[in-house]
Structure 1
Amino acid sequence: MVPSTVLVSHKSEAETTYEVSWDGPDDVANPLNWSSARKWQNVVLVSIQATLSPMASVMLAVTSTAVTADFHQTDLYTPSLPTALFVLGFGLGPLFLAPLSELYGRRIIYLSCFTAFTVSNILCAVAPNMAALVVFRLVCGMAGSAGPSIGGGTIRDMFTPETRGRAQSVYSFGPTGGSALGGIIGSFILAGTGNWRWVLWVMAIASGITSVVSFFFLYETYPPYLLRKKARHLRASTGNDAHHSSYDSPLGHRQLLARTLTRAMHMLITAPACTAMSVYMALIYGILYLHMVTLPLLYSSKPVYGLPSYEWPAALTGLSYLGVGVGSFGGVLVCALCLNRTYMMMKERAVRKGLPTETKYPQFRIPLMQVGACIVPLGLFIFAFTARTYVHWIAPLIGAAVFSAGMLITYVCVTTYLVDSFDQYAASALAAMTLVRSIMGCIFSLIGFRLYESLGYRWGTLMLALLCVLAMPLPALFYFIGPRFLRLGGY
């Protein structure tokens, strides 16, 4: 916690400066000292935003046949374009939004972006052709990326490393489980209305209500911004320009903005810990979106692209996402119960060995991450060997559930690791990860049809499972060499 108060630096009478800080260790203006109710109010609102955006990404995947029929499109790749471009926008947006949240505060980014997300959903709903729809979906993905990309930073602002695991677990359901909810809800809306545009109208209504509620009940949490704001207020109220926070930069606004906007890319290139974790998550996230696009094929009302199908009624196809949703919820429960406990247990052991209590120990998130990394390929192997129409339909869904549980456990641990490691620049580190994984999600969304058309469900999924097996040792490797990597890159 930031120590007490307003410090006076005496140089000469003319050069006296006042460093503005918190008014003591228990200052209620410090988000770390907020009441649990106020903290969780913020967590819930940010989690809703982080859930609605991924829901929107997949909602059109289950309506792709209706969309392409409406616009008279026959190309193989066209049905996946609205989803792929949304996911690409999901990765591009955080490059700007996360660093800007570290300059102008979190709240203004959440409010402006989710309002833009609402408007862009309306534009998608009235799109006159496929080209317009794809462009609006790209914009929609960029606008909707604020919640999933800077939410981890918001949680870091309000919770200490020892207590943030549960909040991080609840929040992280959105970027993974939200996709499954989108598929299920989207299919029922399409079945009930017979019009794919209503899927987007419902999302616009939900996001609009969330924007209004957030305007009244979402609070600013970023400590450097709050202290800079406090210093500005003191300068204005006292007429004394000597009041400054330690976060005030000597750079001009243009230089500061340029440095801020390039921070995420700089971290991705120069911080090995950020790079390695981003690439690892990109592989798993890409497979998730491959599932999102191709699961409806296995359960579609008729075989598509020469692939076998369980031939479910069209209205029930979205239920194929139940496995992903149930697995994601299970992963949330595991992380909520174990992440804080594991961290505290390992920290207490380290302190008993004589290590300092105030030191950051992000590597203590890795044991649970390793568990998730082992579960991910297990789920893929189950899916690969059961995606047969003569096998009961629930078996592939169990594989998808196991994969999703492992993916969410891994995702929560990776994001918490990055938050613990990069502290006040956590949002930029998460933005770098979001960029890489979203690019992979975009690519996998586009190639999913071709992959399974060429190799079938078994061999296509086995290839992905083997890639995950090869990547399995990465968390253990990082447990031992990660602290050394964290000293590189200047963060």
Structure 2
Amino acid sequence: MSMSIAPSASASVRDSSDNRTLVEAGDGVRDDQPRTLSREEKDPWLVEFDDQDAYNPKTWSRSSRWYLTSLGGLLVLNATFASSAPSEIVTMIGQDLGFGMEVGSLIIAVFVAGYCVGPIVWGPVSERVGRRPILIISFLFYTGFQVGCALSPNTGSLIVFRLLGGLFASAPLTVSGAIVSDLWDAKTRGKAMTMFSVAPFAGPALGPTVSGWIAQSGTDWRWIFWVLTLFAGVCLALIVLTLKETYAPILLTRKAHRLRKETGDSRYYSPLQADKQTFSHRVKKVLGTPFEMLAKEPILQALTVYMSFVYGCVYLLFEAYPIVFTEGHGLNPGVSGLMFLPIFIGGVLGCFIYLIFFNPRYVRYVDHYAPNPVPPEKRLESTLIAAPLLAISFFAFGWLSYSWISYWAPMMMGGLLGFSILLIFFTLFNYIVDTYLFAAASALSANTIVRSIFGAVFPLFARQMFQAMNPRWACTLLGCFAALMIPIPFILIRYGPKLRSRSRFAPDLPMGVPEKAPQEEVYHELSQPLRLHGARLVATRRTAVTGARFASTSAAEAPETLSWPDYLSIRKKKRKWEMAMTVPCVLAGLVGGASYFGSLEMDPTKPIFGVDPMIFFGGATFASMGLGYLIGPIAGSQLWRTTHRRTMSLIEARDRQFHAHIVKNRVDPTSQSATNPVPDFYGEKIGSLKDYRQWLRDQARYKRKARWTEDE
């Protein structure tokens, strides 16, 4: 029988590489106590998962787990779609029911305000009764309240039904994320969570599109709520028919019941049945601990402010977009609703960028640090790029919103907004989970409550702000706030470990790279290999220590150096950073150039510098792309240098040595010909020792061919 578990309110949070729940790693730990990793002795009657246990959701087939992950994403898509669906049809509703735009903003705000209930009620209750019953009950009522909205005879009833709908729609926002953590371990959870994270941004982007075309077609406004009813009904049917229970303590309770029935021995029990906490203690834990953490944890405070601001801006756009596109550019509600799609597309692009560039890096970190957990700061790498892009996208969206500039320009900036928002949300969400582990449920509860408040409040003043300040200065204000928050991920990378060491809620886990073998009693190396963003610094300092059988001795210290394989690996990754930044810079150049030159008045009959105006402006646009192509590597290099500040002296030392090797061994370019071009004169393609050997062979081959030509 496996080792004992003591469940807690955060039992749904999992992060391990050996298929264990986080609670198993710290038995008896509660959110309101300092974290330790003590284990109790084995209890033969306590039921736990066996190897490849059919009850363990992490051992289910990948197809089954991916289906349940997709279903959870669909439920979140449903809830977030409903939050923004009426945004393009508020005017029609106001004309029918007789209210102004200020009251119309409440239709979105009260629904988002209902999200505050999710972490307080649905999350904790799902950890007592399971995920499936909560989703069935919540979607049953949620579907009914959509019917109530469709049949509302007045403003008051519509707002009340929207609020009640938001209260029950908050269940999938909380429980679906828990389902993902139930199904996947730390190594694969990043990929699943990345795919899952697209849903919260797809819903708000698709809602205005649907309602915009309903308004444009002249269909009665009540049909948007009938669409929501049909969507919710389909999801309810999928939950009832296909959703399996995934919460481990509930599954272990079922396993314990089966064992008692098969053996006739009533002593078998599950961790959930062993939890004897009183109701008052649970209430205090659920309601008190999140706010206690928010008051005492500077990491959580900083991340909550940042994520809440970003979340509020997402819902602020539902008031801003009609002002920019419908009133400013004269687009009809249907086409204006389509302007939200780039936000979704940008989010999908951010998802792929994470899966291609950042998730493989984290998987390597998991293997590298095993059996210890990966430092949470490794999660923040993509935020270092996304945080500046968020501020840039606000500035660009605002100052490209002039009516005489093509609407394509601000629309494309919406894609950059979606790209940066998804990366920020996803990485900071995972950083909170990795930082607080056992207390992550409470930390996420506090974060979600504050975020929901921001999401409900921002739309209430958005229209007044954009009308009073105009879109340019309103977006400049938002961009300045976003710029003020850029240092947050950089500060956390620098000071995060120190802040976590002082926290009462962050677990005291070993964060260093494990040694490959136990050290001898007499001598042991004090300098373990240090790693920074995948590059190993070769430790050369060795100190002798006093042994039980030998006298004290010491060894001379040698300076720290960087091994050639690791240096070349770093150099290769630097080129990837430069390439990654080149793509958005080229796109920005294209969009900016097309927007600017496309907005200029021109006479097709008058050449510009002797060139046809269309050709001239087209060439200028491509020149803007070329400028972006030149700026991209520079920007990527600077960002890369920021993430390698601690090792720059070692890297620069190797740079000088590497350059000397290249200058010494490269060929004379004056001997090149059409059949014998110079092979990689600057050694830019060298990313490993194998590449360097191949480069040397290419130089030798070039010299031989050049010599044969001279002999002839």
TM-score (ref. length: structure 1): 0.89
Partner AA of 2:372 in structure 1: E
Q: What does residue 318 of structure 1 align with?
A: 337
Q: What does residue 395 of structure 1 align with?
A: 409
1:480 to 490, 494, 497: 494
Q: Per-residue deviation at 1:115?
A: 1.9
Aligned equivalents of 1:260, 1:100: Cα separation in 2? 10
Aligned equivalents of 2:262, 2:310: Cα separation in 1? 52
Go from structure 1 to structure 2 and tell me whether the alpha carbon gap of 1:151 and 1:418 turns closer, same or farther (over 3 Å shift).
farther
Which stretch shifts more, 80-89 or 242-251? Answer: 242-251
Which stretch shifts more, 56-65 or 318-327? Answer: 318-327
Aligned equivalents of 1:135, 1:268: Cα separation in 2? 30
CA deviations on 1:4-46 (whole Å, 9 max, x unpaired) are 99xxx999xxxx861211123x223211111111111111110
2:93 counterpart of 1:67? yes
Contact conserved, 2:213 with 2:333, CA < 8 A, in 1?
no
Aligned pairs (5 A) from 1:403-422: 403-422=417-436
Q: What does residue 505 of structure 2 align with?
A: 490
Aligned pairs (5 A) from 1:59-98: 59-74=85-100, 76-98=101-123
Which stretch shifts more, 197-206 or 319-328? Answer: 319-328
Go from structure 1 to structure 2 and tell me whether the alpha carbon gap of 1:361 and 1:241 turns closer, same or farther (over 3 Å shift).
farther
Aligned equivalents of 1:430, 1:344: Cα separation in 2? 24
Q: Per-residue deviation at 1:147?
A: 2.0
Contact conserved, 1:49 with 1:147, CA < 8 A, in 2?
yes
Aligned equivalents of 2:286, 2:258: Cα separation in 1? 23
Q: Per-residue deviation at 1:150?
A: 2.9
Q: What does residue 306 of structure 1 align with?
A: none
Which stretch shifts more, 244-253 or 86-95? Answer: 244-253
Task: Specify every segment of 5 or more residues in structure 1 that has no aligned partner in the other structure, as ranges.
Answer: 304-308
- Percent sequence identity is 27
Aligned equivalents of 2:407, 2:94: Cα separation in 1? 27
Aligned equivalents of 1:177, 1:334: Cα separation in 2? 17
Aligned equivalents of 1:86, 1:484: Cα separation in 2? 39
Which stretch shifts more, 229-238 or 318-327? Answer: 229-238
2:319 to 286, 293, 302: 293
2:40 counterpart of 1:40? no
Q: Per-residue deviation at 1:103?
A: 2.4
Go from structure 1 to structure 2 and tell me whether the alpha carbon gap of 1:226 and 1:481 turns closer, same or farther (over 3 Å shift).
farther
Go from structure 1 to structure 2 and tell me whether the alpha carbon gap of 1:31 and 1:424 turns closer, same or farther (over 3 Å shift).
farther
Aligned pairs (5 A) from 1:422-461: 422-423=436-437, 426-461=440-475
Aligned equivalents of 1:362, 1:225: Cα separation in 2? 29
Q: Per-residue deviation at 1:342?
A: 2.4
Q: Per-residue deviation at 1:47?
A: 0.3
Contact conserved, 2:19 with 2:185, CA < 8 A, in 1?
no
1:464 to 472, 478, 483: 478
Q: Per-residue deviation at 1:124?
A: 1.0
Q: Per-residue deviation at 1:52?
A: 1.2
- Tell me which of the two structures has the higher relative contact order, counting C-alpha pairs closer than 8 angstroms and 6 or more residues apart: 1
Asked which structure has the greater CA Rg, the reply is 2
Q: CA RMSD in A?
A: 2.5
SS in 1 for 2:246: coil
SS in 1 for 2:404: coil
Which stretch shifts more, 115-124 or 91-100? Answer: 91-100
CA deviations on 1:313-354 (whole Å, 9 max, x unpaired) are 233221121221221221222223234212123445xx3xxx
Aligned residues: 470
Go from structure 1 to structure 2 and tell me whether the alpha carbon gap of 1:423 and 1:35 turns closer, same or farther (over 3 Å shift).
farther
Which stretch shifts more, 235-244 or 62-71? Answer: 235-244
1:244 to 258, 269, 290: 269
Partner AA of 1:343 in structure 2: Y
Q: What does residue 340 of structure 1 align with?
A: 359
Q: Per-residue deviation at 1:296?
A: 1.5
Aligned pairs (5 A) from 1:212-291: 212-235=237-260, 238=263, 240-247=265-272, 248-253=274-279, 255-256=281-282, 259-260=285-286, 262-291=288-317
Task: Specify every segment of 5 or more residues in structure 2 that has no aligned partner in the other structure, as ranges.
Answer: 1-17, 25-39, 507-712
Q: What does residue 153 of structure 1 align with?
A: 178
2:341 counterpart of 1:327? no
Aligned equivalents of 1:465, 1:420: Cα separation in 2? 29
Go from structure 1 to structure 2 and tell me whether the alpha carbon gap of 1:145 and 1:217 turns closer, same or farther (over 3 Å shift).
same
1:140 to 161, 165, 170: 165
Q: Per-residue deviation at 1:108?
A: 1.7
Which stretch shifts more, 190-199 or 436-445? Answer: 190-199
Go from structure 1 to structure 2 and tell me whether the alpha carbon gap of 1:484 and 1:100 turns closer, same or farther (over 3 Å shift).
farther
Go from structure 1 to structure 2 and tell me whether the alpha carbon gap of 1:91 and 1:370 turns closer, same or farther (over 3 Å shift).
farther
SS in 1 for 2:88: coil
Contact conserved, 1:100 with 1:261, CA < 8 A, in 2?
no
CA deviations on 1:387-411 (whole Å, 9 max, x unpaired) are 1001111111111111111001111
2:46 to 11, 19, 24: 19
Q: What does residue 198 of structure 1 align with?
A: 223
Q: Per-residue deviation at 1:422?
A: 4.0
SS in 2 for 1:194: coil
Contact conserved, 1:328 with 1:408, CA < 8 A, in 2?
yes
Go from structure 1 to structure 2 and tell me whether the alpha carbon gap of 1:272 and 1:97 turns closer, same or farther (over 3 Å shift).
farther
Q: Per-residue deviation at 1:272?
A: 4.1
Aligned equivalents of 2:209, 2:355: Cα separation in 1? 25
Aligned equivalents of 2:268, 2:358: Cα separation in 1? 40
